[in-house]
Amino acid sequence: MIAERMKVKVVCRKVYDYIRYDLKEIAFPSSLPDPPHIKKRRKLTWNERFLVLKEASRLYAASWVRDIGPDLRPNDYKKG
């Protein structure tokens, strides 16, 4: 029971950290300015932003499911 609660807590923490810190930077990176010879791009529409965030979320979810997945579903990963 306690182990299950800890696993849920780990998953919740990862989701919270992802939403708070990673999602915006993954979808709309802002850390480096564009070089002077690069033309400015048009602003994305709300629909395009939604599609970018959806794809970024899907890719990130796939990455942390690979990391945590065996702990959450140990019976699925037993061999033999």
Higher pLDDT, 45 or 3: 45
Q: What is the mean pLDDT of residues 28-43?
A: 76
- Sequence-distant (≥ 6) Cβ neighbours of residue 55 within 8 angstroms: none
Nearest to 61 by CA among 23, 31, 30: 23
Q: What gap in Å lies between CA 28 and CA 49, rounded to an integer?
A: 9
- Position 80 scores a pLDDT of 46
Domain ranges of the chain: 2-31+43-75
pLDDT number for residue 18:
81
Q: How many CB atoms lie within 10 A of CB 5?
A: 9
